[in-house]
Amino acid sequence: MSGVFLGTSEFAATVLRILAESDQRPGLVVTLPDRRRGRGRREQASPVAELAGELGIDLLKSGNVNEDEDRERILAAGGEWASICAFGQLIKEPLLSELPMLNVHPSLLPRWRGAAPVERAIMAGDAETGVCVMCLVAGLDSGPVALRERTPIDPDEDYGSLAERLAQIGGRLLVEGLAAAGRGEIEWWEQGEEGLTYAEKISAEDREIDPGRTAREVHDQVRGLTPHIGAWLEIDGDQRLGVKRTRILAEGPEAGRFAEIEGLPVLGCAEGALALERVQPPGKKEMDGDAWLRGHGLP
């Protein structure tokens, strides 16, 4: 029934695995071409491409699914509905009309439409988020929704654990949605515009820690960018200290200053302070904050 799955990221790979283990296993997986990644800048396949190979599913690495050759191969794969998750390309006409697609999006739409919904939900201090399965349309994440499930965000939860849980939910909902679509029983509701927010792509400015913000705001920033992107703090003039895990303290040094409290480096913020429990010094591996403090001293 589900002839094609389009996806690229780690999140999409988790969804694909769940789909492949169901009766909605796709016959063709479409992903982006290999890209240069890491310090060595070597070409690497996407997480979805690697998983498709492991699962033995036919794979198309497409630079543009809207071009005739790739579009025709996608249509030839069959299936009344395709599925798409974190793919990384804009689907245009005529493919958009020729093959309806169920899109897995990790937010409670219309909140957090766009590129970084999981990160933005955490960074904004949201108490909950969720997954929507919607019909792909030309507008940005604006299509009608068929399935939706909520999940709480723990005040200390980071991107890694939340994204994994959302991907599991998304995979399960996608299987359910494809089955309903195949039976002709899928029902839709329009999102509306109330509560609309946009999850802009994470920028370099989003990564820099500003102690002029509250400890809670910086804590949310760190956990929203951990472990995949990373927040950093400028120390000793021009050094960037990666900050991987923090703990909020009610009191500490003045904003922008450091102190040692219970063996940990503590950064003062505009309101409250942050104990730096895990850090990554420039050019080194991640380590506990107390170990870094013993070797470096207070900045």
- pLDDT recorded at residue 78: 87
- pLDDT recorded at residue 76: 95
Count, residues in the chain: 299
Q: At what angle are helices 10-20 and 47-55 packed, to 10 degrees?
A: 20
Question: Angle 197-94-142 (CA atoms, 0-180°, nearest 5)?
Answer: 15
- pLDDT recorded at residue 61: 98
CB 117 within 8 A of CB 199: yes
- Hey, what CATH topology would domain 204-296 get? Methionyl-tRNA Fmet Formyltransferase; Chain A, domain 2 (3.10.25)
CB 61 within 8 A of CB 32: yes
Q: Which residues of the chain have pLDDT under 50?
A: none
- pLDDT recorded at residue 37: 74
The SS3 of residue 91 is coil
- pLDDT recorded at residue 38: 67
- pLDDT recorded at residue 39: 67
Domain boundaries, the chain: 2-198, 204-296
DSSP string, 213-259: S-HHHHHHHHHHTTTTT-EEEEETTTEEEEEEEEEEES--SSTT-EE
Question: Which residues partner with 156 through β-bridges?
Answer: none
Task: Tell me which CATH homologous superfamily contains domain 2-198.
Answer: Formyl transferase, N-terminal domain (3.40.50.170)
Measure the CA–CA gap between 21 and 16, rounded to whole angstroms.
Answer: 9
pTM for the whole structure? 0.95
Taking the CA of residue 240 as centre, how many other CA atoms within 13 Å lie in the half-sphere pointing to its CB?
A: 10
Measure the CA–CA gap between 85 and 83, rounded to whole angstroms.
Answer: 7
Token pair belonging to 192: 């509306």
- pLDDT recorded at residue 238: 85
Taking the CA of residue 120 as centre, how many other CA atoms within 13 Å lie in the half-sphere pointing to its CB?
A: 18
Question: Which residues partner with 30 through β-bridges?
Answer: 6, 60
- pLDDT recorded at residue 36: 81
- pLDDT recorded at residue 170: 98
Bridge pairing between strands 273-280 and 287-288: antiparallel
Report in angstroms the alpha-carbon separations of 54 from 45, 182, 195, 209, 271.
12, 27, 41, 39, 49
Q: Any alpha helices (H) in the chain, and if so which ranges?
A: 10-20, 47-55, 68-76, 95-98, 117-123, 159-182, 204-207, 215-224, 289-296
CB 241 within 8 A of CB 253: no
